[in-house]
Copies of this chain bind each other. A is one copy, B any other.
């Protein structure tokens, strides 16, 4: 894990948060905790008006939960703690006064789709297909469910969850509302992200903060809800079914 990192870069009113792990940006607890902390730090920085979130590398945006950590979970408390890592990142993005712009350069799986869905505005490359494979390993997209459903609706979320072996295309994700824009290349993606972030950086910060509140109205219950969901995932991950599946991938 020595190469993994989370970095917050500040340029005028635009903060850029980058995360990376050598396992296709799969997320262990340490990185999830860092992500949450840096989102809180950006929120507290009154110079900032907008937060761009992206991952390192030019292929997978985020492979979801770290399989190494999933395998190491030994009891329900540990299980819940692990899944709370995703919950806390989503809740921090939701609670921030900053509009979040997520840049997706490639595939996302499970929790990675949750990060994209927690964005206020998500731009992706044409290679950014998405998969919710949780049910095929005996768990489910419980913690990220509210964020994904909020963006793509219960029909598309049910479909992805049930058809767990399928990668859905970036174009499909755009039709359903996960991505606001799909760009042809990483270069075009970077240009579009920079253009939007720089534009938002010129706006009235009070108006931006009120828009943020409006976008997330009706999600007050999420703190409790995501915690309950983490409990559910934390139990299911201990099932024999899941243990066997995880071992077969290890």
Say whether B140 contacts A99, CB under 8 Å. no
Residue in B120, B153, B204 whose CB lies within 8 Å of A239 = B204
Question: Is A58 close to B, CB under 8 A?
Answer: no
| Cβ-closest 8 pairs across A and B | A155-B177, A138-B204, A204-B241, A159-B180, A140-B211, A121-B162, A151-B155, A158-B215
A153 to B152, CA, bound (A): 9
> How many residues belonging to A are interface residues under a CB distance threshold of 8 Å?
47
A139–B236 touching, CB < 8 Å: no
The interface of chain A, by Cβ under 8 A from chain B, is 99, 120-121, 134-136, 138-140, 142, 145, 150-159, 161-163, 165, 175, 177-178, 180, 196, 199-200, 203-204, 206-208, 210-211, 214-215, 229, 232, 236, 239, 241-242
Q: Which one of B142, B158, B207 contacts A210 once the chains associate, using CB atoms below 8 Å?
A: B142
Asked whether A236 lies within 8 Å of B207 as measured between CB atoms, the reply is yes
CB-CB under 8 A from A99, the residues of chain B are 162
Is the CB–CB distance between A207 and B135 below 8 Å?
yes
* A150 in contact with B142 (CB, 8 Å): no
Q: In the complex, A165 Cα to B236 Cα: how many Å?
A: 46
Residues in B whose Cβ lies below 8 Å from that of A208: 135
CB distance from A174 to the nearest CB of B (A): 10
Complex contact B206–A239 (CB within 8 A): yes
- For A145, give its contact among B163, B177, B196, B214 (CB under 8 Å): B214
* Interface majority SS (helix, strand, loop, mixed), chain A: helix
A121 contacts across to B, CB distance below 8 A: 158-159, 162-163
Contact A156 B140 (CB under 8 A): no
A207-B241 in contact (CB<8A): yes
B196 and A210 form a contact (CB under 8 A): no
Q: Is the CB of A156 within 8 A of B177?
A: yes
Q: Which residues of B contact A180 (CB under 8 A)?
A: 155, 158-159, 162-163
Residue A242 contacts which of B154, B158, B204 (CB distance < 8 angstroms)?
Answer: B204
By a CB distance below 8 angstroms, the chain B residues around A139 are: 204, 207
Q: How far is the CA of A159 from the CA of B207 in the complex (A)?
A: 15
Among A150, A208, A210, A236, the one with the most B-chain Cβ atoms within 10 Å of its Cβ is A210
CB pair B155–A152 under 8 Å, yes or no, is yes
Query: Judging by beta carbons under 8 Å apart, are A155 and B178 in contact?
Result: yes
Note all chain B residues with C-beta closer than 8 A to A196.
162-163
The minimal Cβ–Cβ distance linking A95 to chain B, given in whole angstroms, is 16
What are 5 A-B pairs at a CB distance below 8 A?
A99-B162, A142-B210, A155-B177, A206-B236, A207-B239
